[in-house]
């Protein structure tokens, strides 16, 4: 078991970084894993390549430990968007209910599937400023609704969706969850979903080229593996014939994955499992509270939820339009890395966010308050 202090010591980025919602700098464990794997690939001693093929099983076991899905229900993906495309194109009819304010990976998957397959229709959910709640879904479900797509954490508002409550409302309809903004830091019941998709380049700090698609037994039964390559037909090479896709999550793969990427992701998730998602979530929540307190102290308007049950690691600041440029300049001038958008600034904290980073943020807020 790893302590939260030991986990935080694995953060190697420079002070001032508050943009994990965009990309998480590689953890020390991931960097060491990548260097070791590339060294092995560079020398390619006898048996090395065969050994690297075992990384697929390793990463699926690591994902299983954090999601509750069995390893056979999980396929490695190069990114979250690929998993969403597999899911949306695999729908076999009816209407899929989702918010138009979802991150484009979600909305594009639904629309492109409708345009290409002509079997499912996207229906746009009316929301409370982009927040998808069980109550809103209950009001807008119809008999034609066969699936619901939702982000676990909304990337613009930082809102943490109640996926357990959503499951209770939608019944036996397929629930497709894009978990990328909460995976590894939000202690939620993933097993209530039929499809869970995530990438590893954000909060798990595994780098680009990492992700997964986890499917319930019902999803495996109801989704069609439209993009199913030769590796999706079961173990072993397939020559001189084309056989049907496998009856598990491996059907939703096109080719062999990058074993170094799998190893990076596995190392990151093993590190998370060693300390525990609940402990990481608690540490992040405490730091989010401190960031909100700092914003209040300097009268920087907070647009994201103050309720710990409705947030993960994102704090959204939304000053008056004429003051947003002032805030952006203050953050930049004090070395704070944040995600600036047309109407807001998004700060993303992690369990490894340091006192020095919070001091830099305080200095930026001081400058903002003086200028504003």
Same domain, yes or no: 266 and 315: no
Q: Please state, in angstroms and rounded to a whole number, the distance separating the CA atoms of residues 106 and 109.
A: 5
Q: Are residues 16 and 37 in the same domain?
A: no
- One domain, residues 242 and 331: no
d(CA 313, CA 210): 21
CA distance 120 to 96: 7
291 and 228 fall within a common domain: no
**Distance separating alpha carbons of residues 203 and 212, to the nearest angstrom:** 14
Cβ neighbours of residue 365 under 8 Å, at least 6 residues apart? 294, 295, 297, 298, 300, 330
Residues 251, 106: one domain? Answer: yes
pLDDT cut 90: percent of the chain above it: 93
Lowest mean pLDDT: which of 12-16, 50-54, 235-239?
Answer: 235-239
> Which DSSP letter does residue 312 get?
S
Q: Which of 275, 294, 309 is the last residue of a domain?
A: 275
Task: Output the pLDDT for position 236.
Answer: 78
Residues 303, 309, 314: CA angle, nearest 5 degrees? 45
- Give yes or no for a contact between 226 and 117, defined as CB atoms under 8 angstroms apart: yes
At 74-105, the pLDDT tens digits run 999 999 999 999 999 999 999 999 999 999 99
Q: At which of 275, 304, 334 does a domain end?
A: 275
Give the tens place of pLDDT for each residue, 18-54.
Answer: 999 999 999 999 999 999 999 999 998 898 888 888 9
Whether the per-residue pLDDT at 234 is higher than 90: the answer is no
Same domain, 296 and 336: yes
User: Residue 283 sits in a domain of what CATH number?
Assistant: 3.90.1150.10
The reported pLDDT for the residue numbered 78 is 97
Q: Of 275, 307, 341, which one is at a domain's C-terminal end?
A: 275
Tens digits of per-residue pLDDT, 108-155? 999 999 999 999 999 999 998 889 999 999 999 999 999 999 999 999
Co-location of 233 and 92 in the same domain: yes
Q: Position of tokens 């989704």?
A: 223
317-364 pLDDT per residue, tens: 999 999 999 999 999 999 999 999 999 999 999 999 999 999 999 999
Distance CA(358)–CA(190), nearest Å, equals 32
Residue 45's contacts (CB-CB under 8 Å, 6 or more residues apart) are none
- For residues 145 and 257, membership in a common domain is answered with yes
Q: Domain count of the chain?
A: 2
Residues 140 and 155 in one domain: yes
Residues 195 and 119 in one domain: yes
Token pair for 363: 């200095």
In the three-class reduction of DSSP (H, G, I as helix; E, B as strand; rest coil), residue 314 is classed as: strand
**The token pair that represents 316 in the structure block:** 């959204």
Q: How many helices (H) and strands (E) does the chain have?
A: 13, 10
* 77 vs 80: CA distance, rounded Å: 7
Helix (H) or strand (E) holding 212: strand 211-215
pLDDT reported for residue 50: 85
Assign residue 142 the CATH number of its domain. Answer: 3.40.640.10
Domain housing 356: 4-26+276-371
């Amino acid at each position: 078991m790893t302590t939260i202090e030991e986990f935080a010591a694995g953060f190697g980025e420079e002070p001032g970084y508050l943009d994990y919602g965009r990309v998480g700098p590689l953890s020390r464990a991931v960097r060491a894993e990548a260097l070791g794997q590339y060294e092995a690939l560079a020398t390619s001693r006898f048996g090395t390549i065969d050994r690297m093929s075992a990384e697929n099983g390793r990463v699926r076991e690591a994902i299983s430990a954090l999601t509750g899905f069995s390893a056979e229900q999980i396929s490695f993906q190069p990114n979250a968007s690929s998993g969403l495309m597999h899911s949306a194109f695999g729908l076999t009819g009816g209407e899929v209910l989702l918010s138009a304010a979802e991150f484009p990976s979600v909305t594009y998957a639904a629309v492109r599937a409708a345009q290409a397959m002509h079997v499912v229709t996207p229906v746009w959910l009316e929301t409370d400023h982009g927040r998808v709640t069980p109550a809103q879904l209950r009001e807008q479900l119809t008999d034609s609704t066969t699936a619901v797509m939702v982000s676990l954490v909304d990337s613009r508002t930082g809102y943490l969706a109640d996926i357990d409550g959503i499951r209770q409302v939608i019944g036996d309809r397929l629930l497709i969850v894009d978990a990328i903004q909460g995976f590894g830091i939000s202690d939620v019941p993933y097993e209530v979903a039929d499809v869970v998709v995530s990438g590893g380049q954000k909060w798990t700090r595994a780098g680009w080229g990492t992700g997964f698609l986890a499917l319930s037994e019902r999803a495996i039964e109801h989704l069609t593996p439209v993009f199913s390559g030769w590796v999706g037909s079961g173990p072993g090479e397939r020559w001189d014939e084309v056989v049907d896709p496998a009856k598990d999550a491996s059907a939703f793969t096109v080719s062999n994955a990058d074993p170094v990427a799998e190893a990076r992701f596995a190392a990151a998730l093993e590190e998370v499992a060693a300390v525990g998602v609940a402990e990481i979530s608690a540490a992040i929540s405490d730091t989010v509270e401190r960031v909100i307190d700092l914003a209040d102290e300097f009268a920087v308007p907070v647009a994201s939820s103050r309720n710990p049950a409705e947030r993960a690691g994102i704090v959204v600041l939304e000053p008056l339009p004429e003051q947003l440029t002032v805030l952006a300049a203050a953050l930049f001038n004090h070395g704070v890395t944040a995600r600036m958008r047309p109407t807001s600034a998004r700060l993303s904290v992690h369990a490894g966010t340091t006192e020095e980073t919070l001091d830099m943020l305080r200095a930026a807020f001081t400058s903002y308050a003086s200028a504003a």
